[in-house]
Amino acid sequence: MRTRPNIVVILADDLGYGDPSHMGGPWHTPRMDALAASGLRCTDFLANGPVCSPSRAAILTGHYQQRYGIEGVVSAAGHRDCGLDPAAPSFVRALRTLGYRTALFGKWHLGYDPAFGPRQFGFETFRGFVSGNVDYHSHVDQAGYADWWQDEELLDEPGYVTAKIAEHARQFIADHRDEPFCLVLPHAAPHYPYQGPDDRPERSPGGDFVIHGWRSEDPAAARDGMAAVMTAFDAAIGDTVDAIDAAGLGDDTIIIVTSDHGAPAPSINAPLRAGKASLYEGGVRVPCLVRYPRRIAPGTVSSATVMGMDLAPSLLAAAGGDWHGDGRSWWPALAGDQLAERSLCWRFQDQQAVRQGRWKWIRPQADAAPELYDLNADLSETVNLAAAHPERCQAMAAVFADWETDVCAKPMLA
């Protein structure tokens, strides 16, 4: 038995709460379903932001992303010379100090220039793309740039992105089976363009193409493409799990599968309201599966409220390290202990939200009246209780104002 577990974080891009088949989704996801059966399914896992870069910054740093100015997307068109400050904390860098080998294969999206790249945050090895999305076959980003890297050098490496990520993960596991490792696999899937393994490339460098892909203009074609993307993504998850088990590391490895935020159509967020870019539950509540046989019994379901920034302290605690930030360790809840209630806050564009236990306060736009929902009774956020609980609304608005003053002082990348 190892004293320090291996860590594998598989992060989907735009995976909706209701997408996996074990959640009633329309896509065939047997390997995700198997993970849910063999480990933990978290029903109240919350992304720190409703779009890519902010939520990824929070996962990496263990803090609210606003502390480091990442409230919006680091875009290809307008933000090529900025990104997450390399001086920001990184749970991966902390694991390096504990003797872990580290790698990231897949999507970065926290800075285009190598000065803001994965190598600055503790990853010994990086293979993947730095933008928000790429053509699954040609590896061209939405602004027409070739975007596939080995560490800090552009690389011409043919192959379907989802399969390439799984391939590099499998090799890394084989190479480091005898030492503790942290492997972060931020997949492109199921983000548009909805290209399956047998589809043709749609983008070329500097070319004229439809950013969302040709299927985006046809709902039926988008669903077909999504089905192919989801099948390949689920198979890649299975490939990584199988590599861990084949190496004899299954009992000693924490495997986490989650999403960076909620999803747009044709993904499924039901029964939640809204989706990507919204602070209603459909934008921030996401699937989360954890397998760790030494600590988690098969078929466990946890309703503990967990946020993306909690992954850093949780993983450091499991590795025998310590972490101080906005997040807190999730592990006590996995042992059956109650986590103390806390206030959680979101801000994105002109949207504001606060969560306290069962209560969700939200101002969906700057000039809108605040809304209040009891998520235990109304997960779909259909019955606004603000008029019935004015004191609670006032108190939660004050919590948001205090949080904003404390956390959001730095100029934001919006």
Question: Using one digit for the tens of pLDDT, what is the confidence trace for 152-180?
Answer: 999 999 999 999 999 999 999 999 999 99
- Is the domain spanning 6-340 CATH 3.40.720.10? The answer is yes
Q: Quick one: average pLDDT of 369-397?
A: 98
Per-residue pLDDT at 400: 98
Q: What pLDDT was estimated at residue 346?
A: 98
Question: Residue 102: is its pLDDT beyond 80?
Answer: yes
- Is pLDDT above 80 for 336? no
Q: Where are the beta strands (DSSP E) in 234-327?
A: 253-259, 285-286, 288-291, 300-302, 306-307
- pLDDT, residue 339, reads 84
- What CATH class is the domain 344-407? alpha beta
User: Can you tell me the distance from the alpha carbon of 79 to that of 57, in angstroms, rounded to the nearest whole number?
Assistant: 16
pLDDT the model gives residue 338? 78
CB of 232 closer than 8 Å to CB of 197 = yes
pLDDT at 79 over 80: no
Q: From its phi and psi, is residue 122 left (phi > 0), alpha (psi between -120 and 50) or beta?
A: left
306-307: strand order across its sheet? 285-286, 45-46, 306-307
Residue 332 has pLDDT above 90, yes or no: no
pLDDT tier, 329 (very low <50, low <70, confident <90, very high otherwise): very high
State whether residue 102 is helix, strand or coil: strand
**Average pLDDT for 383-389:** 98
Mean of all residue pLDDT scores within the chain:
95
Q: Helix 30-38 and helix 219-246: axis angle, to 10°?
A: 50
Neighbouring C-beta atoms of residue 38, cutoff 10 Å: 18
Cα 237 → chain centroid? 15
Instruction: Provide φ and ψ at 284, rounded to 5°.
Output: -130, -20
Query: Given this model, what pLDDT does residue 109 score?
Result: 97
Would the pLDDT of 83 be above 90?
A: yes
Question: What pLDDT, in 10s, does the model give residues 266-317?
Answer: 999 999 999 999 999 999 999 999 999 999 999 999 999 999 999 999 999 9
pTM confidence score: 0.97
Residue 139 pLDDT > 70: yes
Cα 326 versus chain centre, distance? 17
pLDDT recorded at residue 78: 65
- pLDDT at res. 331: 85
Q: What is the DSSP letter of 309?
A: G
Distances in whole angstroms, Cα of residue 52 to Cα of each of 8, 110, 395: 19, 9, 30
Q: What is the per-residue pLDDT for 1?
A: 59
Give the integer Cα–Cα distance in Å for 73 and 111: 10
Q: Does residue 382 have a pLDDT over 80? A: yes
Residue count of the chain: 414
Supply φ then ψ for residue 133, to 5 degrees. Answer: -165, 155
For the chain, the structural domain boundaries read 6-340, 344-407
Q: What is the mean pLDDT of residues 195-213?
A: 94
| Residue 389, pLDDT score | 98
> What residues form DSSP beta bridges with 126?
104
Identify the pLDDT of residue 334: 75
How confident is the model at residue 190, as a pLDDT?
98
